[in-house]
């Protein structure tokens, strides 16, 4: 009798799954969105909006490193000297941190990557790690270098929640206070002019080749990032 019951249960489960799959109700395909662009091109600004729109977690490797640095964790200590010099953190450290992050349950249906991948080796490692059924979209924010310098020079970042303002383009309602959480707004240490110059050089040398890498795969969509944040967001939406 017990065996018969177990048999019936297994049969019901198999039939149920077959019906579920037949009706197109099988597990949704995970969607991974990559925001590609030079420093200060608006990746963080747009990622916050897209994350809400797509209901996908926003994963910024820069934010993860800054979190580790503020906690003075071993990873933060190791990453600090690279970040403050405008260099890339070595791939091995980035990959471990990123792969640990995307294992969390909130990332099962996909996620939005801001600042990753940044080298061909990172892009290839991501490709290997993603299940083959994943839908991958790459959105490039195109902003020329002279605008980048202006944007980064005026950027104010919240030390408490990571929210971003700009002295001219997105000023806080109360001077030096974050609109979102009231935290103190400061300039990032890697936003000093000489470090920005190095970050841009590194971008052109090591990250820009990813535009070609993803174009050849036919999954890159370019958006003019020089427009207002609202206009850029609308263009991004239209590509998704």
Binding site for ligand AP5 (CB under 6 A): 37, 39-45, 60-62, 65, 82-83, 86-89, 94, 115-116, 118, 122, 151, 154-155, 164-166, 169-170, 190, 199, 228-229, 232
What is the C-alpha end-to-end distance of the chain, expressed in Å?
54
Q: Which of 96, 177, 188, 234 is catalytic?
A: 188
| Separation between Cα atoms, residue 174 and residue 80, nearest integer Å | 30
Tally Cβ neighbours within 10 Å of residue 103.
9
Q: Which of 66, 101, 151, 199 is catalytic?
A: 199
Active site residue 87: no
Q: Which of 49, 103, 155, 239 is catalytic?
A: 155
23-82: which residues touch Mg ion (CB under 5 A)? 44
Q: How far is the CB of 151 from ligand AP5 (least distance, A)?
A: 4
Contact by Cβ (8 Å): 197, 114: no
42 dihedral zone (left: phi>0; alpha: psi -120 to 50; beta): left
Active site residue 199: yes
Q: Which does 48 bind (CB under 5 to 8 A by kind): Mg ion, ligand AP5, none?
A: none
3-state helix, strand, coil in the chain (%, to 5): 50, 15, 30
Q: Which does 162 bind (CB under 5 to 8 A by kind): Mg ion, ligand AP5, none?
A: none
Site residues (CB under 5 A) for Mg ion?
44
């Amino acid at each position: 009798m017990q065996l018969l019951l177990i048999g019936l249960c297994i049969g019901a489960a198999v039939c149920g799954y077959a019906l579920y799959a037949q009706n197109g109700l099988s597990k949704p395909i995970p969607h991974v969105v990559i925001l590609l662009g030079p420093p200060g091109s608006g990746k963080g600004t747009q990622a916050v909006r897209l994350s809400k729109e797509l209901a996908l977690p926003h994963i910024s490797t820069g934010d993860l490193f800054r979190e580790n640095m503020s906690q003075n964790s071993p990873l933060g200590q190791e990453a600090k000297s690279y970040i403050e010099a405008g260099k890339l953190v070595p791939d091995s450290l980035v990959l471990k941190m990123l792969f640990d992050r995307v294992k969390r349950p909130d990332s099962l249906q996909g996620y939005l990557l801001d600042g990753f991948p940044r080298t061909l080796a990172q892009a290839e490692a991501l490709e290997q790690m993603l299940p083959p059924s994943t839908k991958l979209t790459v959105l490039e924010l195109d902003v020329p270098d002279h605008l980048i310098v202006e944007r980064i020079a005026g950027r104010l970042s919240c030390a408490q929640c990571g929210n971003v303002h700009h002295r001219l383009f997105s000023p806080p309602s109360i001077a030096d206070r974050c609109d979102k959480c009231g935290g103190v707004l400061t300039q990032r240490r890697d936003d000093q002019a000489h470090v920005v110059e190095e970050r841009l050089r590194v971008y052109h040398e090591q990250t820009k080749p990813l535009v070609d890498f993803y174009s050849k795969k036919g999954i890159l969509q370019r958006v003019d990032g020089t427009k207002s944040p609202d206009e850029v967001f609308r263009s991004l939406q239209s590509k998704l």
